[in-house]
Structure 1
Amino acid sequence: MHRTMYKLIKRGKLFCLFTYFFVSFAWAAQTSDVQDLFTQADAVRSSNPAQFIFLIEELETHRANLSSKQTFNLDYLTGYSLSFKGKFQKALEIYKKLVTSEANETLKLKASLSIVNTYAISKNWPDGLHYLSNALNKLPLVIDDKLQQRAYAVAAIFYNQLGQFELGLGYARRLAKLSLVGRNFCFAKQLGLESQFELGLLEENDPQILEGIEACQQSNEVVMESAIYSYLAKLHLKNSNPQKAILALEENLQAIEESRYAPIIALYYSLLAESYFQIQSSVIAEDYAHRTIQQTRNIANSKPQVSSYKVLYQIAESRGDHKLALEYHKKFAEADRAYLDNIKTKHLAFQLAEHQTTEHKSRIELLDKQNNLLTIEQKLSAIKAENNRLFIAMLIAIITLLVFWAYKSWMTQKRLKQLAEYDALTGILNRGHFTQVAQSALKYCANTDMYLSCILFDLDKFKNINDSYGHACGDWVLKRVAEVCQAQGRKNDIFARLGGEEFCVVLPSCDLLTATKLAEEYRKVIERIDSADSGFDFTISASFGVTDTLRSGHALEKLIADADEAMYESKHNGRNRITVYSVPDKDADSDENTAANSDGAQADLPLFTGS
């Protein structure tokens, strides 16, 4: 700089000298401003998310003029902002690039800890444990008290999320023993309270709760403070105090919504949904439950999602909307199963990590002993290697045999189940399995006051087809009829071949009119079957009988018998038509009862109905 200034003075170019000073001053000012932006962003990244995102956007405008160190730092802060917005996959990509980059060890360790946090949120426990172990091993290489505090905090967070609350409490207490102020003091309080809550060591009047809230308020840590309020709300709900839970949650609801942190927002909404449902405010509870589901769309296997589907199911059930209740109950069951599977995955991941750690320590001990007995080890190593090869070969052979046996067993069971439950020719339910499934459907519909209808149909003049064209052609007809009808029906319909050319369809949650229309669709698709593929030219049709539980009751034998009676009425009236079962009644003259009876030409449906 001084050499350049001397040259300019020597040449008498005062204007150039002035320009040089101005540019140098502007560059220094800009550098100072950029560094201030970095300092501010790092200070407010969790306490003021909106300001943090604004600062990151401002820094992005200076990216082209940043040093390599500043560029790496901006990448890290960008990843942090993406995590806050719930875009965890994009954040992971940035963090992993930093870990393998030329950034300094401190920033790499920060990125590793952020990866651990992200994996905790996305439930990737094996990879999270791997990065956490590496980060804790590298911690002694970094001389930074604040980073050590953060590492303990991340370890406590991860182990709490993994369900290993004893370990989480241990790291929280390590963190608390350090000289903490501000944000880290809040972290230590919140993590300790979380571990104690999950271990059943926390009561709603515990003074630690108030201490934790005050610590987080002093450092303006909205997310941590909100988490503590959620533990308090859960304790109120546990003690049947939903009103107190609502007060605790709503006191901090606006602040956590402004943070845009999806996991804690979803937790708040789910707790509010459960609380309002307990005080019978179904409309508000339903609204919060739907908000929870919206918040958890990018968060797999979450407890708030399970809780919200349960609330929605209970609300629909209380309103008598059984169809909607059934849909929500299915979603609740699926979410609950996935959540429980996730808990099992956590335990498995932790046990695997423990096993690997134990194995690693055992190998180190073995190497120490082998170093003391080097000569003997050289002789034994060859024997050991050979034994290992034999053991591995034997193990592979055993595993292969076990896998082959398990596969054969599975195939046999699958085949036996197929033979036991399905018709060998058509692939639809056989009579025995149909009876079991249909009776279960009838029982459910009776208990939930739902409609159930039954369609019975028989192929017209099927014996003539067998006699004229052979049994192979008859089998072709049966399979083709099953295919077109199965494609026409609903997913939850119970479709079976009862024997010979007779088929039956039980339709849960289906009234008589809808069943009659569906029977007409069956009749049409059967009538439209092209027999040319069989090698012969003939027509195919069927006669149908339809009834429902309002006419025939909830006994399967009676339901089929009445449908059979209606079907034979169709046969008697000319075949290729539909008849609705008519209940015999001595007052039938006073009722306007008719039966559906249609053919392909006229499609008229006179109804035979009972009182």
Structure 2
Amino acid sequence: MAWSALVQPAHAVTAVTNPTAFLEQTESLRTKDHPQFVQMLEQIHRETPRLTQREQWYLRYLDAWETMFRGDYSQSELQLREVIDHSGDVTLAGKASALLLYNLGTNQRYDEAFALANRLTTALPKISDPHVRYATLMYLSQMLDFAGQTDLAIKYARMMEDAIPPGETSCLPLNLQVAALYNSKRLTSSSPIIQQAIDTCVVAGQPIATNSMWLVLSSLYLDESQPDKALALLDRIAPSIRTSRYHFHLLSSQAEQAQAYAKLGNDNEAKKAALDAIALGRPGDISEWLRVVYEVLYQIEKKHGNDAAALAYYEQYVIQDKGYLNDVSARTLAYEMTQQHTLVQKLETDSLSKQNSILRLKQALGTKAVETSRLYIILLLLVLASIVFWLLRIKRSQLRFKKLSSQDGLTGIFNHQHFISEADRALRVLEKKHGAACLIFIDLDYFKQVNDTHGHAVGDAVLKRTVAICEQHLRPTDLFGRLGGEEFGILLLDCSRDQGKAIADRIRMAIQATPVDADRGVISFSASVGLASTDTSGYGLQRLCREADAALYRAKRTGRNRVIADTEDGSLVEA
């Protein structure tokens, strides 16, 4: 959940006469007046020696919240687990567990996050503290939104509205509903719920939550090709975002500025905003916003003819794009696997319960007639058979999900992660036999225009047609996968560079010669192909990928609809 909004005036620092009341007041200012929250946190730290044990754990919980707010999720997790495991305070442990759920989800540890979400969901009816229940519902809504379960996320957000504790308002529940609707593409800039959320959060004095809604509105303006409105809005809320220092808002606002300037043709300002966004990131970060800024930088450098810089930014864009798509798939898969695991546990529990019933019934059989005993045994065997039947169905379902985790959901071929894994394994085996192989990267030309002009349904049809064409020219031993978006990878085993170029060119010509029928007429499309061979690049997958990617980029830059292959001296040649 990304919060942000109008900054409130600072409160005067008061003497700490009642530490518990002071800590409660400090907690209430976390999102309403974050600078004042930090100031009060520093003040109460100076009072640590005279705090009770419970007050010291309360302070550690607030420290963990602030650590996570600054973006240090690993340290925050350690602090939260200490509170959960050692504080001995049910209320503090409940708050820390709810916050840990958000921490794990934001830190992309989805298996652990959804497992914790299931435990919290089970414990929800027993939570009596209104603030703990409110926080638990909030983070459950966020995790379900992460998993793409929009309706469930909205359901939990509305449950929050029905359980607002003293001192809270409907600001955060409305925030969660807007976030879920936006992520599922059910919002426009004129949707009434956005203004309702903004007005509610302003009245509630929630700056971080308010800015979150403004940033959603800015994104909608960009989606609707209104960059001037987006830029004006971003300029207006910039002081508040800088004051709150919320890492996610700093990054997203810079990325949206870069997009807006780029759409308005102001390349200098777009580049500056994009570089500022990159500077906010940390090494190894994968996010939708970093993907956006690298695409902006790539388009700018390409427009100005800076080929080397454009290629470097394009490589970073591809890394972010593939990483983001894999992350979305990982969320969904983790959610599905957690649900399956929970169902298996329930069935196993039911099975144990029924086995206990069987033992009790067997004891009773000794006092009954033989005929009645036989009837009971038959019935019990039927129960056991039904349990085994359901366990087998669950196991088969788990195997199906495992298979799906290696396939691309749209085309049915290998997904990016499985293709890379299989290609690396095949190359290691091939190296021992001193065989040859070719790695081919295929990228559909102007595919974004097809989506924008004819819609995503037609775009999906084009992707499926491309896969079908490629499969007609491949052998059963060749590896074929979707790398992300409109890019595909093929590893031709036991194939020389010349043979690979011939196969790649046949695929390219077949794609060009096979249009797709749509409601608005026939859609022709083409592909650019880059090829790298073990003959010249060796068996290292990383180098082969780099060479094939460079060849693909050259094919794009030199006019598209062509095959470019590497040569022995490391240069590229058109096939």
Q: Normalised by the shorter chain, which TM-score bucket?
A: 0.5 to 0.7
Q: Cα offset for 1:211? A: 1.0
Aligned match of 2:477: none
| Alpha-carbon distance, 1:369 to partner | 3.2
User: What's the offset of the Cα at 1:40?
Assistant: 2.5
Question: 1:415 is matched with which residue?
Answer: 430
* Aligned equivalents of 2:175, 2:423: Cα separation in 1: 53
In the other structure, the counterpart of 1:164 is 149
**Is 1:236 aligned with 2:221?**
yes
The residue number in structure 1 matching 2:105 is 120
C-alpha distance in structure 2 between counterparts of 1:411 and 1:236, whole Å: 47
- Which residue of the partner structure matches residue 338 of structure 1? 323
Task: Specify the structure having the higher radius of gyration (Cα).
Answer: 1
CA distance in 1 between partners of 2:196 and 2:422 (Å): 59
Post-superposition Cα deviations, 1:320-361, rounded to whole Å, max 9, x if no partner, equal 101100000001001111111111110110011110121122
Question: In the alignment, which residue of structure 2 is the partner of 1:57?
Answer: 42
CA distance in 2, matches of 1:365, 1:310: 52
Q: Which amino acid aligns with 1:153?
A: M
Query: What is the alpha-carbon distance in structure 2 between the residues aligned to residue 216 and residue 346 of structure 1?
Result: 29
> In structure 2, what residue type is equivalent to 1:506?
D
Amino acid at match of 1:287: K
Counterpart contact for 2:69–2:246, Cα < 8 Å? yes
SS in 1 for 2:265: coil
Contact 2:130 2:165 in 1 (8 A): no
After superposition, what is the alpha-carbon deviation per residue over 1:170-190, rounded to whole angstroms, capped at 9, x for unaligned? Answer: 111211233567644110111
CA contact (8 A) 2:61 2:96 kept: yes
- 1:317 equivalent in alignment to 2:317: no
Kindly report which structure 2 residues correspond to 1:73-152, keeping only aligned pairs within 5 A, or say none: 73-152=58-137
1:508 aligns with 2:571: yes
SS in 2 for 1:354: helix
In structure 2, C-alpha distance between the alignment counterparts of 1:507 and 1:127, rounded to whole Å: 45
The match for 1:219 among 197, 204, 225 is: 204
Equivalent-residue separation in structure 2 for 1:307 and 1:170 (angstroms): 31
When residues 273 and 180 of structure 1 are mapped into structure 2, their CA distance, relative to the original with a 3 A threshold, is farther
Calculate the TM-score normalised by the size of structure 1: 0.60
1:197 corresponding residue in structure 2:
182
C-alpha deviation, 1:228, in angstroms = 1.1
The Cα offsets for residues 534-588 of structure 1, whole Å up to 9 and x where unpaired, read as: xxxxxxxxxxxxxxxxxxxx678xxxxxxxxxxxxxxxxxxxxxxxxxxxxxxxx
Q: Counterpart of 2:350?
A: 365
Partner of 1:433: 497
The match for 1:601 is none
The 3-state SS of whatever aligns with 1:506 is: coil
CA displacement, residues 269-327 of structure 1 (integer Å, 9 cap, x when unaligned): 11111111001111111111112222231683210011111011001111110110000
Correspondent of 2:195 among 205, 210, 214: 210
Deviation at 1:77, TM superposition (A): 0.5
Q: Secondary structure at the match of 2:305?
A: coil
SS of the residue corresponding to residue 17 of structure 2 reads helix
Give the aligned residue type for 2:571. P
Is 1:329 equivalent to 2:314 in the alignment? yes
**3-state SS of 1:373 partner:** helix
Whole-angstrom CA distance in 1 between matches of 2:84 and 2:357? 38
Unpaired segments ≥5 residues, structure 1: 1-28, 400-405, 423-429, 441-481, 484-490, 495-503, 510-553, 557-611
> How far off is 1:191 after superposition?
0.5
SS at match of 2:31: coil
Q: In the alignment, which residue of structure 2 is the partner of 1:69? A: 54
Distance 1:420-1:104 versus aligned 2 partners, 3 A rule: same
- Aligned partners of 1:407 and 1:88: how far apart in 2? 33
Equivalent position amino acid for 1:109 in 2:
G
Quick one: structure 1 residues 168 and 269, their matched pair in 2 at CA, closer, same or farther if it must change by over 3 Å?
same
The separation in 1 between residues aligned to 2:185 and 2:125, in whole angstroms, is: 34
Amino acid at match of 1:164: Q
Name the CA distance, whole Å, in 1 between partners of 2:428 and 2:19: 69
Q: Which of the residues 31, 35, 51 maps onto 1:46?
A: 31
Q: Is the 8 A contact 1:183 1:221 kept in 2?
A: no
Q: 1:89 to 1:555 in 2, by over 3 A?
A: closer
CA separation of 1:409 and 1:431: change in aligned 2, threshold 3 A? closer
Q: CA deviation at 1:163?
A: 2.6
Change (3 A) 1:285 1:437: farther
Q: Secondary structure of 1:363's partner?
A: helix
Change (3 A) 1:275 1:69: same
8 A contact 1:82–1:91 mirrored in 2 = yes
Q: In structure 1, give the amino acid aligned to 2:343.
A: T
Matches of 1:226 and 1:377, distance apart in 2: 66
Question: d(CA) in 1 for partners of 2:351 and 2:214?
Answer: 50
Aligned to 2:230: 245
Q: Do the aligned partners of 2:141 and 2:153 also contact (CA within 8 Å) in 1?
A: yes
TM-score where L is the length of structure 2: 0.63
Contact 1:86 1:298 in 2 (8 A): no
Q: In 2, are the aligned partners of 1:182 and 1:215 still within 8 Å (CA)?
A: no
Paired residues in the alignment total 408
Query: Residue 147 of structure 2 contacts residue 332 of structure 2 at CA under 8 Å; is this kept in 1?
Result: yes
